[in-house]
Structure 1
């Protein structure tokens, strides 16, 4: 494995630190690792709204209710929280590479199952495949902070995490547009079935080479640590035990600042998940026969959001102002929802597109910034554990919000349904303001003055 130039850490590494922690290196292969992860995450999230973004067509073809179609997206929210603990256990015990292999293989199997579901009486087959794909996402969604910290230097870690999240967002963006482009609202059910079959086989063809790439190139960790923080963790690393694993989650769930963030994060990303699931129905309630517009709006939201993820990832690396960035993104998310509501009421597609892009830019950026803030508040607990807990809360909130939006859309209309989401977001920003600005990971990176402290054994974190 070829090593790149040494990362220059801030503060300066002195001789005593060199003796205690050993050599620190950045490997060029880290960029291949993160690139493979981006592909891996993208193909999985490509299937998130594969059905729900064309809800009206799926209802016609399979003869199922719109609620049943909503569940093809919500199944990801329902399966994640109860399976988080066993998935995290496997990650801590078996390592990053093992879980990446399990995740990508499961994603491929679920994708291949759906290839046999393009018949009007086989909706349940597609639902099974969708469930397998989303169970496999347990080994994707919470990994960006883990991959970033294990492979990247301290001045790259937030950017690398943002790139990992970018993979998920890229796949989500494509999921909004691929289905509407591939499957049209034909009068003839056979034509719909043929196009659904092409869609499922196309995604299956994409996932297969990604599986091969992960098996060949994806590594668990570099030979030498990329940062002082990782060197400390390796120095204090002990044998994996069930007790240490459970203590890690106990530490997270008794960490008051982290728990407050969990509540706020769950609301924000839960609203995003609910809006993505229901986007087709919201747009069609204002614009007839606008399936492609719904898909394009969703695509642009996430594509612009990917830019936001990267921009704010760089800002976090440069400024280390995690709380302040989270607050700004939260406020802009609320304003984005309000603008989207107003645009729908004007019946102007142009304004709906513009407001949707603005909302996507800030809400997607919050997805990564919130995970990074969680790592700071919970260090030295595993990044995958803190991210998993945050995402679990967002999935629970997403399920609740999706069901609420469906009910309210049918009874009081889109404006009041979205108004309720604004109310929830207002609560989220209020509690975010009260989160203590404690950056434990940043303190661990310091090796001068009062920050020159090595982690005790009982705060061990698995690699």
Structure 2
């Protein structure tokens, strides 16, 4: 390979060759040394040599890393708006297409199934580098959103074509949603990764919140449904365009760990499948992502039989997400500084489980306070957990490539979400005459189990939420061989490789919004 030759810049920063989007080792004794007669004294063999050579490397972060991060945020936000275009106005949309409300639920469910189907391809693409995944995501979303508009506009709404568009957008989602850990590993240091992953991953529920807030205003009656879909298609188009222009990788690595080569895909998958910690995170992650997806998709139908309006349900869904984002904005930077991943996971998991338990009885209070407070709590705990769990997963499976674990976790969560929506729909109490319910309103409703209630569905959701609590409680227990010592792979490399000798990271000030400082573009 010609690009394996290591060039040196004037500052002594190795410009490493890249293969499959990964760094080639600069100190493996085979290449490198012959091109570095004047640098031979740094390049010893073996681990000790590795450590010593880092002290002469200048790790640096680049301002341009924010371009790609912003693009990931925009993609995840808008893909999510596409996912929940119809759910917040399920009754209106059902009338427009002349289908049942269950068929409208399938628009959301089909979207999630598409995610699961694409997972293997996503792992392979992300392994080559995040930019490629971002471009794929943009193209699929662009195509899908216009097909969906065509299906909505044509002949008073052709449900099948709208569904096809929805599935294509669903295929775009995993490329953008599984990318953040891979992106933050490539561009950020250990003092910014949790925050970078949080910002890009949580854009996904943020888009869902936007949809739940905005869509009901865009489609107040059936005739406005095509315009609603058109607006989303236009937004999708604008957001897709910048993806082509973002830089593919930093000129030099930001930290020691991102400088080390990752093991290949097959080895990464093998490492994950034999890691107990991976399963202890996977189970709660998929159950809680699934619960969250089902809850936000069905929120309207959960509250409606008790006389809540679509607007009140929309506010409840928005609270779930806005409070969650605020909480994650507080917890992520704290974890970037403390790296207390296990403590965070063990605190948040029981809170989420109790939230789903309390949710069973929230609608029948017929107050706004109960569902609003529980939604806020669920949002805060769930959103704080996502980036911590994803980043901890990269730590415990290092040097496996980050996208493998995050794609499997997200795909599992989407699959559970689909299954949940189907089961919870089936557990719904017979069809309810929506007209009479909405006329009565909350004040007039009677009984804890009105027609159309989803009480059994909420019980089902709570049982599984509680069942997975013990798994993460085992993390970090020495006696089970899950001790911290062996697990903090990536952080150990970074701590050893950074700030040594004259090299170290050229990153001084830690601003509020994540790592900034004397960065050069």
**What is aligned with 2:455?**
415
Which residue of the other structure, out of 398, 405, 416, is the alignment partner of 2:417?
A: 398
Distance 2:352 2:87 in 1: 23
1:356 lines up with 2:375 in the alignment: yes
Distance 1:248 1:16 in 2: 22
Distance 1:36 1:90 in 2: 17
SS in structure 2 at match of 1:153: coil
Q: Residue 169 of structure 1 contacts residue 305 of structure 1 at CA under 8 Å; is this kept in 2?
A: no
Distance 1:19 1:380 in 2: 19
Q: Residue 126 of structure 2 contacts residue 179 of structure 2 at CA under 8 Å; is this kept in 1?
A: no
**What is aligned with 2:66?**
31
Cα displacement (A) at 1:441: 2.2
Of the structure 1 ranges 25-34 and 435-444, higher mean CA displacement relative to structure 2 is found in 435-444
Gaps of 5+ in 2: 1-12, 14-47, 431-448, 476-481, 498-521
Kindly provide the CA deviation profile for residues 54-98 of structure 1, in whole angstroms up to 9, marking residues without a partner as x.
Answer: 1111221212122211111112321222321122112223x2212
Cα displacement (A) at 1:347: 0.4
Cα displacement (A) at 1:16: 7.2
Q: Residue 267 of structure 2 contacts residue 400 of structure 2 at CA under 8 Å; is this kept in 1?
A: no
**What is aligned with 1:209?**
238
Cα displacement (A) at 1:403: 1.4
SS in structure 1 at match of 2:390: helix
**What is aligned with 1:386?**
405
1:318 lines up with 2:318 in the alignment: no
1:135 lines up with 2:163 in the alignment: no
1:285 lines up with 2:305 in the alignment: yes
Kindly provide the CA deviation profile for residues 151-183 of structure 1, in whole angstroms up to 9, marking residues without a partner as x.
Answer: 111111111111111321221111212221111
Of the structure 1 ranges 247-256 and 140-149, higher mean CA displacement relative to structure 2 is found in 247-256
Cα displacement (A) at 1:44: 0.8
Kindly provide the CA deviation profile for residues 432-451 of structure 1, in whole angstroms up to 9, marking residues without a partner as x.
Answer: 11233533322232318xxx
Distance 2:234 2:488 in 1: 44
Q: Residue 165 of structure 1 contacts residue 309 of structure 1 at CA under 8 Å; is this kept in 2?
A: no
**What is aligned with 1:43?**
78
Distance 1:79 1:445 in 2: 37
Which residue of the other structure, out of 109, 112, 115, is the alignment partner of 2:149?
A: 115
Cα displacement (A) at 1:41: 1.3
Distance 1:252 1:16 in 2: 25
Cα displacement (A) at 1:121: 4.2
Kindly provide the CA deviation profile for residues 244-296 of structure 1, in whole angstroms up to 9, marking residues without a partner as x.
Answer: 322322221222220221112111111111111111100112125x1122222
TM-score of the superposition, structure 1-length normalised? 0.85
Distance 1:43 1:140 in 2: 11
Distance 1:360 1:104 in 2: 28
**What is aligned with 1:445?**
494
Cα displacement (A) at 1:27: 0.6
Kindly provide the CA deviation profile for residues 181-213 of structure 1, in whole angstroms up to 9, marking residues without a partner as x.
Answer: 1111x4xxxxx23x1122122112212222222
Distance 1:447 1:356 in 2: 42
Distance 1:142 1:169 in 2: 14
**What is aligned with 2:361?**
342
Distance 2:158 2:217 in 1: 22
Distance 1:373 1:153 in 2: 15
**What is aligned with 1:305?**
324
SS in structure 1 at match of 2:362: helix
Distance 2:426 2:398 in 1: 40
1:428 lines up with 2:463 in the alignment: no
Q: Residue 144 of structure 1 contacts residue 161 of structure 1 at CA under 8 Å; is this kept in 2?
A: yes
Distance 1:273 1:377 in 2: 26
Q: Residue 63 of structure 1 contacts residue 120 of structure 1 at CA under 8 Å; is this kept in 2?
A: no
Structure of larger gyration radius? 2
**What is aligned with 2:203?**
167
Higher share of residues assigned helix: 1
SS in structure 2 at match of 1:221: coil
Cα displacement (A) at 1:329: 1.4
**What is aligned with 1:231?**
259
Distance 2:207 2:373 in 1: 21
Residues 440 and 19 (structure 1 numbering): CA distance in 2 closer, same or farther, change over 3 Å? closer
1:152 lines up with 2:200 in the alignment: no
Distance 1:208 1:83 in 2: 22
Which residue of the other structure, out of 96, 112, 120, is the alignment partner of 1:77?
A: 112
Distance 1:136 1:312 in 2: 29
Which residue of the other structure, out of 255, 261, 269, is the alignment partner of 2:289?
A: 269
Kindly provide the CA deviation profile for residues 394-437 of structure 1, in whole angstroms up to 9, marking residues without a partner as x.
Answer: 12211221112112222684333212212111111111112335
Distance 1:178 1:172 in 2: 10
SS in structure 1 at match of 2:360: helix
